[in-house]
Amino acid sequence: MSKEKCVLAYSGGMDSTISTVWIQENYNMDVVTLTVDLGSGPEIERVRERSKKAGAIESLVWDVKDEFVNNYIFPGLKAGAVYEDSYALSTALGRPLMAKKLVEAARKVGASAVAHGCTGKGNDQVRFDASVMTLMADSSPLKIIAPAREWGMTRDEEKMYANKAGLELREVGNDQRVYSIDRNIWGQAIEGEDLEDTWSEPPEDAFSWTKSIENTPDKPIEIIIGFEKGIPVSLDNKKVSGKDLIEKLNSLAGEHGVGRIDHTENRLVGIKSREVYETPAAIVLHKSIKALETLTLSRDQQRMKNTISQVYSDMVYDGRWFTELRNNIDAMMNDMHKYTTGEVRVKLHKANCIVTGRRSEYSLYDFDLATYSTDDIFEHSSATGFIDIFSLPGKTQAKNQTFHDSK
Amino acid sequence: MSKEKCVLAYSGGMDSTISTVWIQENYNMDVVTLTVDLGSGPEIERVRERSKKAGAIESLVWDVKDEFVNNYIFPGLKAGAVYEDSYALSTALGRPLMAKKLVEAARKVGASAVAHGCTGKGNDQVRFDASVMTLMADSSPLKIIAPAREWGMTRDEEKMYANKAGLELREVGNDQRVYSIDRNIWGQAIEGEDLEDTWSEPPEDAFSWTKSIENTPDKPIEIIIGFEKGIPVSLDNKKVSGKDLIEKLNSLAGEHGVGRIDHTENRLVGIKSREVYETPAAIVLHKSIKALETLTLSRDQQRMKNTISQVYSDMVYDGRWFTELRNNIDAMMNDMHKYTTGEVRVKLHKANCIVTGRRSEYSLYDFDLATYSTDDIFEHSSATGFIDIFSLPGKTQAKNQTFHDSK
Amino acid sequence: MSKEKCVLAYSGGMDSTISTVWIQENYNMDVVTLTVDLGSGPEIERVRERSKKAGAIESLVWDVKDEFVNNYIFPGLKAGAVYEDSYALSTALGRPLMAKKLVEAARKVGASAVAHGCTGKGNDQVRFDASVMTLMADSSPLKIIAPAREWGMTRDEEKMYANKAGLELREVGNDQRVYSIDRNIWGQAIEGEDLEDTWSEPPEDAFSWTKSIENTPDKPIEIIIGFEKGIPVSLDNKKVSGKDLIEKLNSLAGEHGVGRIDHTENRLVGIKSREVYETPAAIVLHKSIKALETLTLSRDQQRMKNTISQVYSDMVYDGRWFTELRNNIDAMMNDMHKYTTGEVRVKLHKANCIVTGRRSEYSLYDFDLATYSTDDIFEHSSATGFIDIFSLPGKTQAKNQTFHDSK
Amino acid sequence: MSKEKCVLAYSGGMDSTISTVWIQENYNMDVVTLTVDLGSGPEIERVRERSKKAGAIESLVWDVKDEFVNNYIFPGLKAGAVYEDSYALSTALGRPLMAKKLVEAARKVGASAVAHGCTGKGNDQVRFDASVMTLMADSSPLKIIAPAREWGMTRDEEKMYANKAGLELREVGNDQRVYSIDRNIWGQAIEGEDLEDTWSEPPEDAFSWTKSIENTPDKPIEIIIGFEKGIPVSLDNKKVSGKDLIEKLNSLAGEHGVGRIDHTENRLVGIKSREVYETPAAIVLHKSIKALETLTLSRDQQRMKNTISQVYSDMVYDGRWFTELRNNIDAMMNDMHKYTTGEVRVKLHKANCIVTGRRSEYSLYDFDLATYSTDDIFEHSSATGFIDIFSLPGKTQAKNQTFHDSK
C-alpha cells in the first residue's frame, strides 16, 4: 500500500529542507514540496534540486504573483491595511494565499496532510493553520504538520537531518544569516538578534532593499501614479500591471531610501516584538491612495474607513483572512472606491516620500468654495445660524451642569 | 453715561486694527484690545501702540504660553490629537484658550461683548463662538461680534477704515503678504492663493520655520526625549520646561527640514480645504510618545486609544474643547499614561524624524519572551491549543456557511 | 406669462392647507400639491378636494408604500437602524423618499420650487432640505420653501389663511388635536404638550395603535417569521409581501400591546426632546432579525455590525440618507446578510415581544460543540494553551507595571 | 515535612466536593476550601461540614457581597456592561472577585496552588486563570489546578470519589438537577439539556427567580430609584445600600416576571451557546440608569459611552477584568457620571419594566427649547444657516460624483 502524502510549503532554505526529511521519518509520509512564488525571488532550479535530494517525491513550483497582487495586496491597499499604522502586512497578506495553494495542491495530489515551517511563537503559524482549517472545512480534513513547532531538536540532531537531506555540513556550519528574513513582492520582514533591543538602532546591514539616507541621490525624482477605483493602474501616465508597478516602485523608492519601518508591534500570540521591515512600494502606494482619498471621500466616509481599516488590519495580521467579515468589508471598500480615480504626484528624496499633488475628476475639493479670494461662492451668512445650533448642546450643558473647565 | 465695552482679540495686524475702528463706529462701543501671546511672537510694543492709535481705550497683552503648553498642548499630545492623521491642531488648540482669556478680560473690564477677527467660512469662528458661549453660560451673556464676518467691505472702505486707524495707506497698499498665516508655539498654518490648487506643490517661500531638504545639514543629529506619565520633561537627559522644549525642538527639527505638512482637510463648515502647516516640535513629540506607547501600552489599550484619538482630534478641530466629553476623555488619558515614562531617541536628518530607540522601566516588551534565541521562555506548546480555539469560529462558519473565497 | 410652479408636500392637514394659500400669496407661484402615501392612511379624496379648494392647480397623490418598504424600511432593518437603541426611525426613513418624490414631481410638472411644512426646530426640515439639495444637484436647482419656518404667523393670521383656503373657522377653532402626530406604515411619532414633562407618564390617549397592558388578551399568540438574506418574507410559513407583513404585524402586535416607545432623544438641531412612538411591526422585526443574527453572524461580524448600526442610525436620523456612505454601508450589509436566512418564533403577550425560538440552515450554533453532554466534540485540552497565550499580555503588564487593582 | 497547600474555590456542590478529594490524591496536597459568598445563598454550615468530611484541612467562608456590589457590579452598571445587549454579566463580574479572594487566601495560608471547578469549554476557566495569573504576577507564582478540566472521569470514578468525600451514593444518584446553575446577587445563569436547542422555548421549570407572565399580579407597581453620580442610592426616596437595593429589586421585579433573558451568545472559546439568565435587579437598574443618562449626558457623550460599553462588556465577559484598560475606562466612566444624579420611576407589570419618568437637577432637557408651544426660545431662523452648511458636503458630493441613488 502506498504511503500517505503531505504537501510541505517549501522555501528551499535549511529549515524547510530539514523538514522534508523530518516529516518522512516522523510521520512516515511521502512529501510533496510546494514552492509558492510570491515574488520572494527563489532560485527555482535550486529549489527543485534540493527538494529532490531531501527525498521529496514531487517538487511543485507555482508562480502566483499576479494572484497575490490582485486578490490580496490590492484589496489590502483599498482597505488601508497597515498594521498599527506602521506595517503594510507583506508577510501577513502572503500567508493565506500560501495556505490556499497548499490546500489546492493537497487536493490535487491526494495528500492527507499539509505542512509549514513556522515555529510556535510567531504569527505565521496562526495564519497558516487558521487558513487551512477554513479552506478544508467543506471537504475531508487535512492534518497540519508544523515540524519546527513540534521537533524540539538540538543542534546535533539538526546536523543529522541536514546530512540526510543531502546538505553538506559546511552549509549548516556556515549559516551566517544573522537575520531571519521573510520576503515577497510587498515587502520583507527582518528579525533577529541585533534588533531585539528596542533601544538599539537597526544596523545598516539589516537592510537590503533600501539605501541609507547618506547613500541616496541628491536629486529627487517625481513620479505620477494613476488610480482607477482604488487600484493603481499607471505610472507616469503609462498603464502598468500591478506586479510591474510594485516591482518598479520597490526599486525606485528603495534607491531613494524610502521603505524602512522600525516598529515594536503586538504579536497575535500575546507578546510585543521589535520588527524591521522594508516595504518601499507599499509605503508609496498607501501614501498615494490616502492622498487621493482626501479629495474623493467625504469626511464621513474617511472616518468610517479609518475605523474599518483598524479592524481589517488586525484581521489580516491575525490570520483571519478567509472569513466572512473580510468579505463583508471588501464589499464596502469596493463600493467606497467607486470614485477613487485620479492621479497623485509623489516626490522621492532622501528617504522622504512626499505627495506634492493630487487631482481627480471626482474631487470634492471645490475651489470656488474653498478659495480665500473674495469671489468665493460660500454663504458666509449661514455661519452664524450653523454655529448657533452647533453650539447649543455645549451651551445647554454648561448652563445646566455648571461646566468646570478642567484646563 | 459711559458706553458699553467690547474686548477684541487683537493680533496687531491690519484686519484686527481695522476691526478696532469698525466696532467703535458700528456698535458704538468702547474697544479694549486683548493680545493673547501663545508664542506667536508679536512685537508687543508695536501692538500696544497700534491699538491705541486705532482708538482702543485699553490694550491688554497677556502671555499665556505656559498655560497653553501645559493645559492645551500636552493634553492634546497625550490624547494623540492629530487631525486626520496629519495636523497637530496648533491653531485649533489655541483658539479655546484665546476665547477663555477674552471672557476673563470681558468680566474683568466689565465688557458686554467680545470680538474676534474670523470670517464666516473658517473653523476658527466656530471655535471662538462655541467656546465663548460655553464659558459665559454661568453668568451674564456676552455679545459676540465678528467684524470680518459681518462687514462685507470693499477695498475702498477698508482703506478708509485703515486711515481712521492711523495706519498709513502705504501700509495697506504694500500688503505683500501672499499667505494667510496663523502662528503659535505649536505650529503655523499657511493658507492662500498658490496653495489652493491641490495639484501644485507648495512653493518654497510658503515655509519659514523649516528648511528645504536641499538646505538641511548633511549630518544628522540625535536627541533623546524623556517622558514622565505622558509628558515630555527632558531633552538629552536635562530637565526642561514644556515651553522651552517645544521652542528648542521647533528650532532643531526645523533646521533639519522636519515639520512640513501638506494636507487636504475637511473643514468643520462642510468644505475641503488645502492646508499647509509647519509644526516641527509637534511632529517630533507625537512620534516620540507614540513610539514610547508601543512599549508601555497593551495592544488593547493602543486600540482603544486610537479610537478615542480620532474622536478627540475631531472635537478639538471642531471647537468642542470646553465640553464634558473632553474632560471625560482627559480623565481616561491621564489614567492610561500612568506608565508612559521612559526615553525615546530621535534622529533628525534630511526632513526625516526617525525614532531609533525607545526604552522604559515599564516596558511590556519582554526580551525573554520575544527573543529568537533558543533560551526564550515562551511556551511553544501552548500555540496549538490557542490556534484550535482561535480558529474555531472561522472553521465553524466555513463548514456551516460554505465559505466562498471571494479572492 | 405663466407663473412659476411650486410642488408642496401635502398631508391634507390644516398647516399644509394654509401653506398652499400662503405660498401662492407670498411667492406668487402656482402650487401643485403632492400627497406621498407611505401608509399614513390619508383620506385620499378629501385630500384632493381640500387641496383644490385651497387653490392648488394640480393635486397629485402617489402611493409609494412598496417602494418605501423595499428600498427604505428593509435596508434600515438589515442595517439595524434603531436610533439610540430605541426608535426605529419611521419618520426619518420616510422623509428622504418624500423628498425624492417632491423632486421627481417638480421635474415632471416643470416646477422651480418645492415646499414642505416643517418648522425650524425639528429634524424633518433637515431631512427634507438635505435630500432635496442632493437630489437636485445634477440638474437645475430648486428653491426650497418652508412656510412654517418662514411665516411667523399669529393665530389671527392663521385664521385668515384658513378662511382663504376654504376651511371653515369652526374647523380651526375646534382643532382639538393635543398631539402632533406623524404616521406611516413603519410607525407613528407622537409629540406635544403632556409629553413635554419627562417625569410624566404618557397618558393613555396618546396611543392609538397599541392596547394598554390591561386591555390586551390574556392568551399569548405565537407567530413565525421567515427571513431570506435579511429580508422578512413569510409569516407562519406563508409567503407575504413586505407591506402586508408590516401591516399585519402592526395589527397583531398592537393588539397585544407591543410597540410603545417612550424616549428622550437627541435631536439633530442640538436639543433633547421627549418622543413617544408606536412601532409594533418595527419592534417585532428588529427583535427577530437580531435573534436570527445571533445564529448566523460570527462574533466579529456582530461587533462590526453593531458599530456600523450606530453610525447608520445617526445618518438616517440626521437626514443623510442620500449619501455615498449610506450606499457603502448598504453594500456591506447586503454582503453580511448572505446567510441571514431562517425562522424566528415570537410570542406576543401583555406588551412583551419574546423570541422563543430561532433556527437557520446556516446556523453557527453547533450542538456538538456546545452541548454539556459528555459526547461533545470540543477539545477541552486546547483550553490551557489558549488561556496561556490569551493571558500573556495581562500577565506581562501586571509584572512590569505592578498592577494596582483599583477595585 | 508538611505537604504543600492548595486553596480550592468551594461551592459545596458535588463537583467541588469531589475536587477536594481529587486534589489531595492526585497532587498530594492539603486542601483549604474557600467559599466566596457573592450572594449565591450557600447553606454555610453545610458547606463547612461537607468540606471537612471531604478532607479539607481548613474551610474558609468569606462574605464579600458588599465588595462585589460596590467594586464590581456598580462599576459595570456605570460602564453599561451588558454583553451583546442582553446579559448583565452576573457570573462574569463575580469570577475576578473570586479569583482575587483565592489569591488572597493562598497568600494568607501559605498555599502554593489555587484550584477551581471549571471545565475546559466554558468562559469561567479563562476568567479564573487570567485573573489569578495577573494578581499573582507581583509575587511568587501559584499553580492553577482545574480538576474538572483535567480529570476526564467516568461516572464510576465519580462515584468512587464521592464515596471518599463522605457523600452518600444516593446523593449522587439522585442528582436530578437538570440545569447547571451559577448564581450570585446580580443574577443566575441557567444552562443544560433542554436549552441546547435554539428552537425550543425554555421550559418554565428552568426559572426560579421570576414568575411567568400568567402568574404575575394583575396590578402593576411603580418604584422610584434615586441615583447619585451613577450609583443607585435610594428606593422610593429612602436611602438604601447597594446590596439591599439589589436584593429588594430581585424580589420585586421577579414577582412581576421581569428578569428573564434568553440569548444565543458567543463564548470566548469560539463557540456559540444558548444561555438563559434571570437578572431582575440588573435589568431594572440598567434600564433606569440608561433613562437617566438620556437627560444628563450629551449626544456626544452617549455615543462615546456606547462605543466604550461594547468594549467593556467584552472585556468583562472575556475575563480581562484585572487589566489596565479596565482601570482606564473606569476613570472615564467616573468622570462621565459626575452629573448622573436624579430619579427614575419604573413600572413593573406583566414582565415589562417600563420607565415612566426620569428627572435630574442636571437635566440637559430644556423645556423652553423643546416645547412645541409658541413661547419657545429656540432660534428658528438659525436653522437655514445650519442646514446650508450641514448639507454642503452631501451637495458637493452629489454634484461632483453624480450621486446614484441606490434606492
A26-66: per-residue pLDDT in tens?
999 999 999 999 997 656 778 998 999 999 999 999 999 99
Residue C1 burial (C-beta neighbours within 10 Å; 0-12, 13-18, 19+): exposed
**Residue A221 in contact with partner chain B when CB distance is under 8 A:** no
Predicted confidence (pLDDT) at residue D172 exceeds the cutoff of 60: no
**Residue D375 in contact with partner chain C when CB distance is under 8 A:** no
Rounded CA-CA distance C8/B337 in Å is: 58
Enzyme catalytic residues of B? 15, 95, 124, 180
Enzyme catalytic residues of C? 15, 95, 124, 180
Give the pLDDT score at D373: 62
Rounded CA-CA distance C69/C64 in Å is: 9
Which residue among D296, D338, D389 places its CB closest to the CB of A382?
D389
Rounded CA-CA distance C19/C123 in Å is: 19
Q: Which of A246-250, A324-328, B192-196, B349-353 comes out lowest in average pLDDT?
A: B192-196
Closest Cα of chain A to D89: distance in Å?
Answer: 25
Contact: B351, A352; criterion CB under 8 Å: yes
Q: Does C225 lie in the same domain as C156?
A: no
**Residue C306 in contact with partner chain A when CB distance is under 8 A:** no
Which residue among C273, C349, C380 places its CB closest to the CB of D119?
C380
Closest Cα of chain A to C115: distance in Å?
Answer: 20
Split at pLDDT 50, 70, 90, the class of C170 is very low
* pLDDT tens readout for residues B266-286: 999 889 999 999 999 999 999
D364 located within any domain? no
**Residue D329 in contact with partner chain B when CB distance is under 8 A:** yes
Average pLDDT over residues D120-133: 92
Rounded CA-CA distance B11/B116 in Å is: 10
**Residue A370 in contact with partner chain D when CB distance is under 8 A:** no
Give the pLDDT score at B375: 60
Give the pLDDT score at D168: 62
Q: Which residue of B has its CA nearest to A96?
A: B407
CB D19 within 8 A of CB D117: yes
* pLDDT tens readout for residues A244-301: 999 999 999 999 999 999 999 999 988 999 999 999 999 999 999 999 999 999 999 9
Contacting residues for B158 by C-beta, under 8 A, at least 6 apart: B18, B172
Contact: A328, C307; criterion CB under 8 Å: no
* pLDDT tens readout for residues A353-376: 999 999 999 999 987 777 666 666
CB A230 within 8 A of CB A289: yes
**Residue C138 in contact with partner chain A when CB distance is under 8 A:** no
Give the pLDDT score at C178: 63
**Residue C320 in contact with partner chain D when CB distance is under 8 A:** yes
Distances (CA, A) of B177 to B45, B205, B218: 22, 11, 32
Q: Collapsing DSSP states into helix, strand and coil, what is residue C183?
A: strand
**Can you read off the three cell numbers belonging to residue A313?**
488590519
Residues of C in contact with D155 (CB under 8 A): none
From D154, D181, D208, the end of a domain falls on D181
**Residue D383 in contact with partner chain A when CB distance is under 8 A:** yes
Contact: D385, A390; criterion CB under 8 Å: no
D365 located within any domain? no
Average pLDDT over residues D24-35: 96
Q: Does D245 lie in the same domain as D201?
A: yes
Q: Does A312 lie in the same domain as A220?
A: yes
> pLDDT over 70 for what percent of chain B?
93
The amino acid at residue A338 is K
Average pLDDT over residues D373-384: 72
Give the pLDDT score at C385: 87
Residues of B in contact with C394 (CB under 8 A): 298
Give the pLDDT score at B176: 53
**Residue C270 in contact with partner chain B when CB distance is under 8 A:** no
* pLDDT tens readout for residues D338-374: 999 999 999 999 999 999 999 999 999 987 777 666 6
Q: Does A252 lie in the same domain as A204?
A: yes
Contact: D393, A339; criterion CB under 8 Å: no
Predicted confidence (pLDDT) at residue D173 exceeds the cutoff of 70: no
From C159, C181, C203, the end of a domain falls on C181
Split at pLDDT 50, 70, 90, the class of C396 is confident
Give the pLDDT score at A85: 96
A364 located within any domain? no
CATH of the domain at C93: 3.40.50.620
Q: Which residue of C has its CA nearest to B338?
A: C401
Sequence-separated contacts (24+) of C85-88 with Cβ below 8 Å? C85/D85, C86/C261, C86/C263, C86/C265, C87/C261, C87/C263, C87/C265, C87/C275, C87/C277, C87/C279, C87/C317, C88/C186, C88/C187, C88/C261, C88/C277, C88/C279, C88/C282, C88/C283, C88/C286
**Most A CBs within 10 Å, among C306, C316, C325, C388, to test the A interface:** C325
Which residue among D300, D339, D388 places its CB closest to the CB of A382?
D388
* pLDDT tens readout for residues C120-155: 888 999 999 999 999 998 889 999 999 988 887 777
Give the pLDDT score at D401: 82
**Residue C398 in contact with partner chain D when CB distance is under 8 A:** yes
Name the helix (H) or strand (E) containing B334. Answer: helix B324-336
**Residue C299 in contact with partner chain D when CB distance is under 8 A:** yes
Rounded CA-CA distance B202/B196 in Å is: 9
* pLDDT tens readout for residues C234-267: 999 999 999 999 999 999 999 999 999 999 999 9
Closest Cα of chain A to B1: distance in Å?
Answer: 31
Give the pLDDT score at B172: 41
Which residue among A299, A363, A385 places its CB closest to the CB of D382?
A385
Contact: C391, D366; criterion CB under 8 Å: no
Q: Does D239 lie in the same domain as D97?
A: no
**Residue A401 in contact with partner chain D when CB distance is under 8 A:** yes
> How many contacts (CB atoms, under 8 Å) link A and D?
76
Which residue among D369, D388, D393 places its CB closest to the CB of A379?
D388
**Residue B152 in contact with partner chain D when CB distance is under 8 A:** no
Give the pLDDT score at C405: 64
Predicted confidence (pLDDT) at residue A171 exceeds the cutoff of 70: no
β-bridge mates for residue B348, sequence order: B221, B353
Q: Does B150 lie in the same domain as B48?
A: yes
Average pLDDT over residues C293-311: 97
Split at pLDDT 50, 70, 90, the class of D178 is low
Q: Which of A171-175, B119-123, D34-38, D72-76 comes out lowest in average pLDDT?
A: A171-175
Contacting residues for B41 by C-beta, under 8 A, at least 6 apart: B183
Q: Does B202 lie in the same domain as B340?
A: yes
Contact: C328, A336; criterion CB under 8 Å: yes
* pLDDT tens readout for residues C355-383: 999 999 999 998 777 766 666 667 777 88
Chain-centroid distance of CA C163 in Å reads 35
From B130, B160, B181, the end of a domain falls on B181
Strands (E), D108-230: 113-115, 143-145, 179-184, 187-192, 221-228
Predicted confidence (pLDDT) at residue B376 exceeds the cutoff of 80: no
Average pLDDT over residues C387-393: 87
Q: ipTM of the predicted structure?
A: 0.94
Q: Which of B87-91, B352-356, B359-363, D387-391 comes out lowest in average pLDDT?
A: D387-391
**pTM for the whole structure:** 0.95
Average pLDDT over residues D377-406: 80
**Most D CBs within 10 Å, among A397, A405, A407, to test the D interface:** A397
Average pLDDT over residues C1-9: 91
Q: Does A374 lie in the same domain as A341?
A: no
Give the pLDDT score at D352: 98
Exposed e or buried b per residue across A63-77, where buried means at least 16 C-beta atoms within 10 angstroms of its C-beta = ebbebbbebbbbbbb
Count of domains forming chain C:
3
Look over chain C and give the mean of its residue pLDDT values, rounded to a whole number. Answer: 91
Give the pLDDT score at D170: 46
Q: Which of A340-344, B221-225, D193-197 comes out lowest in average pLDDT?
A: D193-197
CATH of the domain at B256: 3.90.1260.10
Residues of A in contact with B366 (CB under 8 A): 271-272
Q: Report DSSP state, residue D14.
A: H
Which residue among A266, A301, A324 places its CB closest to the CB of C328?
A301
Where in the sequence is the domain holding B18, given as residue range(s)? 5-181
C365 located within any domain? no
Q: Does C259 lie in the same domain as C192?
A: yes
Q: Collapsing DSSP states into helix, strand and coil, what is residue D283?
A: helix
CB A278 within 8 A of CB A210: yes
**Residue A380 in contact with partner chain D when CB distance is under 8 A:** no
B364 located within any domain? no
Q: Which of A5-19, D38-52, D105-119 comes out lowest in average pLDDT?
A: D38-52
**Residue D384 in contact with partner chain A when CB distance is under 8 A:** yes
Give the pLDDT score at C180: 83
Q: Does C165 lie in the same domain as C273?
A: no
Which chains are adjacent to chain D, needing at least 3 Cβ pairs under 8 Å? A, B, C
Among C281, C279, C287, residue whose Cα is nearest residue C89: C279
Split at pLDDT 50, 70, 90, the class of C404 is low
Which residue among A362, A363, A383 places its CB closest to the CB of D385?
A383
Predicted confidence (pLDDT) at residue A402 exceeds the cutoff of 90: no
Split at pLDDT 50, 70, 90, the class of A169 is very low
Split at pLDDT 50, 70, 90, the class of A351 is very high
Give the pLDDT score at D399: 83
Q: Which of A264-268, A325-329, D37-41 comes out lowest in average pLDDT?
A: D37-41
Q: Does C245 lie in the same domain as C169?
A: no
Residues of B in contact with D391 (CB under 8 A): 270
Give the pLDDT score at B193: 65
CB B401 within 8 A of CB C337: no
Predicted confidence (pLDDT) at residue A322 exceeds the cutoff of 50: yes
* pLDDT tens readout for residues A188-220: 999 876 788 999 999 999 999 999 999 999 999
Q: Does A288 lie in the same domain as A147?
A: no
Predicted confidence (pLDDT) at residue D299 exceeds the cutoff of 60: yes
Residues of B in contact with A320 (CB under 8 A): 394
Give the pLDDT score at D243: 98
Q: Which residue of A has its CA nearest to C122?
A: A389
Q: Which of A133-137, A182-186, D99-103, D277-281 comes out lowest in average pLDDT?
A: A133-137
Contact: A407, B345; criterion CB under 8 Å: no
Residues of C in contact with D321 (CB under 8 A): 407
Contacting residues for D344 by C-beta, under 8 A, at least 6 apart: D224, D225, D227, D288, D289, D291, D292, D355, D357, D358
Closest Cα of chain C to B16: distance in Å?
Answer: 32
Predicted confidence (pLDDT) at residue B177 exceeds the cutoff of 60: no
Residues of B in contact with C311 (CB under 8 A): none
Give the pLDDT score at A288: 98
